[in-house]
Amino acid sequence: MAKITVQFACADCGTTSGRWLGKCPGCGAFGTLVEELHGSPSGTKAARPSTPVPIADVSADEADRISTGVSELDRVLGGGLVPASLVLVGGEPGVGKSTLLLTALGAISRGGRRALLVTGEESAAQVALRAARLGGAEQVEILAETELDTVCATLEAERPDVCVIDSVQTLHASALGSAPGSVAQVREAAGRLLRVAKESGVATVLVGHVTKDGAVAGPRVLEHLVDCVLQFEGDRYHEHRILRATKNRFGSTNELGVFEMTAAGLVGVPDPSELFGTTHPGEVGAAVGCALEGTRPMLLEVQALVAPSDLAMPRRVGTGVDPKRLAMIVAVLGRHAGVALASADVFVNVAGGVRIEEPGADLAVALAIASAARGVPVREGVAVFGEIGLTGRLRQASQAERRLEECAKLGLATVIAPAGTASRVSLRVAAAETLRAAIAEGLETASASAVGAAA
């Protein structure tokens, strides 16, 4: 019988303490320590040594990966689910986590594998309703259960190929006195499920709730524990959803999956450029950039608004762009490209709720801001990419050829890229040495007299 002890654990970071403290010693947050009843093992078994083996003797095959049948999900996972791995899928309420995973389970079960859905959030009947709407999930087995011991025992006995736990916050270990969803419970559930996944070879997917700042709720240790953390994001008011990996032990974390929410479930969008990379001709403050997300080049519309401001420190607000990068681009525009923004608020938005993180998208942001500041639209059929240096010179972006191919595929006429970008595709590449030259090339009637006219 486990001995029950009282512990205080930080609700943010999971740091534990024997007594209550006002400030968490782990993360420095105030008032986050909550009392938890914690079961500790009543004694350790005598340890027996084990024999290590050379890596060469370990059999592992890339082909063992289980395809989820949802190509965008496979892409983000790095080619499918790895057997015996633990994947955490986080996302805002209603973003479509259950829908995505039920679709995947349906496809897995149709492929002749056993797929189990453990639902603690919805009743079996509710899941059946969704399954009927989505279609193709008749073979998926379902277990409506929140008791952790029962779930683990079922997994060990049944050994399905893939199991989805929806959600980890509803699981409840009765040995612990605290409520389901508390730090101790979530940590216990994840730890136990990890052991079962590795021992029984079940590829397990945990659904996790997110806190209001977007992190997966529960202790930080949860993210360390699992093999893969996927974030399902998207505007609930738009039908597009974006799945990205923030941690992946078996693949790149730069990959991105794009979905569209329809009545028949989530449909993968294999060609997001078509969706996100179109601007209205003649519109001021919009530019098309070609950003690279993992191995996938993607055309994105970047919009900017430049408005006069009386603030001593004008605002630089970016949605989907890194604020530091935005501040840098605004400074370089002012200093090296003659776009004065010192007394103007600058707002930048990336279409479709996509976040751009790579420097190759700098030029698109700069061109959109320059267009907004000067009140001159970007030329029609123009896309841009390139990194902006602090000296105002453009630096070459990685994988330029793939970006150019994507632009050519979408029928763009001209691409403005850093000097030295070679092209084998049939579209005009306007090479620009500096940011100033790129803006002159990109804007429709950018005459010298218009420089600095806005704001």
121 to 140, contacts with ligand ATP by CB under 6 A?
121, 133
User: Does 170 sit near ligand ATP (CB under 6 A)?
Assistant: no
Binding segment for ligand ATP among 88-96, 108-116, 323-331, 395-403 (CB under 6 A)? 88-96
Binding segment for Mg ion among 93-101, 151-159, 168-176, 329-337 (CB under 5 A)? 93-101
CB of residue 227 to ligand ATP, shortest distance in Å: 21
95 interacts with, out of ligand ATP, Mg ion, none, CB within 5 to 8 A per kind: ligand ATP
Closer residue to Mg ion in complex, CB, 98/273: 98
Residue 167: asked if its preceding bond is cis (omega within 30°), the reply is yes
User: Does 260 sit near ligand ATP (CB under 6 A)?
Assistant: no
CB of residue 121 to Mg ion, shortest distance in Å: 6
Binding segment for ligand ATP among 12-20, 51-59, 89-97, 107-115 (CB under 6 A)? 89-97
* Count of residues touching ligand ATP (by CB under 6 A): 12
CB of residue 70 to Mg ion, shortest distance in Å: 16
User: Does 96 sit near ligand ATP (CB under 6 A)?
Assistant: yes
Binding segment for ligand ATP among 97-105, 319-327, 339-347, 386-394 (CB under 6 A)? 97-105
Binding mask 263-282 for ligand ATP (x = CB under 6 A): x-------------------
User: Does 98 sit near Mg ion (CB under 5 A)?
Assistant: yes
- In the list 11, 86, 88, 95, the residue contacting ligand ATP (rule: CB under 6 A) is 95
Closer residue to Mg ion in complex, CB, 165/337: 165
- In the list 15, 32, 99, 231, the residue contacting ligand ATP (rule: CB under 6 A) is 99
263 interacts with, out of Mg ion, ligand ATP, none, CB within 5 to 8 A per kind: ligand ATP
Distance of CA 449 to the CA centre of its chain: 43
326 interacts with, out of ligand ATP, Mg ion, none, CB within 5 to 8 A per kind: none
Residues near Mg ion, by CB under 5 A? 98
Chain contacts with ligand ATP (rule: CB under 6 A): 91, 93-99, 121, 133, 261, 263
